[in-house]
Amino acid sequence: MAGERAAIRYAKAVLSLATDNNIAEAVNTDMELINNTVAQSKDLKDMLYSPVISASIKKSALLEIFKGINQATVNLIDTLITNKRVDLLPHVASKFITLFEQQKGSQIATVTTAVPLTEALEAKVLAKVKELTGKEAAIKNIVDESILGGFILRVGDTQYNASIADQLSKLKREFTIN
């Protein structure tokens, strides 16, 4: 993805600054808010990516939407706007959250299932992730009915696909080849 490396650099810089000033937890809260809000609002995404909307309007809209955010987060928005990279804001927020979790010694395990996870299944997944990686993890459950059943577990760069849709796809390839 274009801008991936730039997003990581911005996220690392903000994390370093926030850690030095002992505000990393507060900035992480801001980044989670930004990440979730942008993910849920098509209009906000469209505004961020629009070349027609001026930088000043984008800045005032972001500061109005995210009232009460930490000064370090405001400075990040200013920097992104100055550098004409405000479209990277959701990516920077996502990378910041990942880097912050790594710094704390934990990680986020993304589990995609056809139905929401129960507490018992969530506990089993957490235990398995800890066994595999040796680190604590937080679970992010994504419900995607298209996988039909089973699950897809992603921790860091590792992905384990045990979905029914994937197994059916493998069978289809086997029959097509033979």
Instruction: Report pTM.
Output: 0.65
CA angle 122, 162, 119 (to 5 degrees): 10
Burial grade of 62 (CB within 10 A; 0-12, 13-18, 19 or more): buried
Predicted local confidence at residue 145, as pLDDT: 84
- CATH dotted code for 4-102: 1.10.520.20
Taking Cα atoms as reference points, which of 154, 129, 130 lies closest to residue 141?
154
pLDDT less than 50: residues of the chain: none
Q: Give the position of tokens 């928005």.
A: 77
Give the span between the Cα atoms of 94 and 32, in whole angstroms. Answer: 8
For strand 150-155 and strand 106-113, is the pairing parallel, antiparallel, or unpaired? antiparallel
Give the DSSP letter of residue 118: P
Q: Domain ranges in the chain?
A: 4-102, 106-177
The pLDDT tens digits of the residues spanning 34-80 come to: 988 988 889 999 999 999 999 999 999 999 999 989 999 999 999 99
Class in CATH terms, 106-177: alpha beta
- Let me know: does 69 contact 117? Beta carbons within 8 Å: no
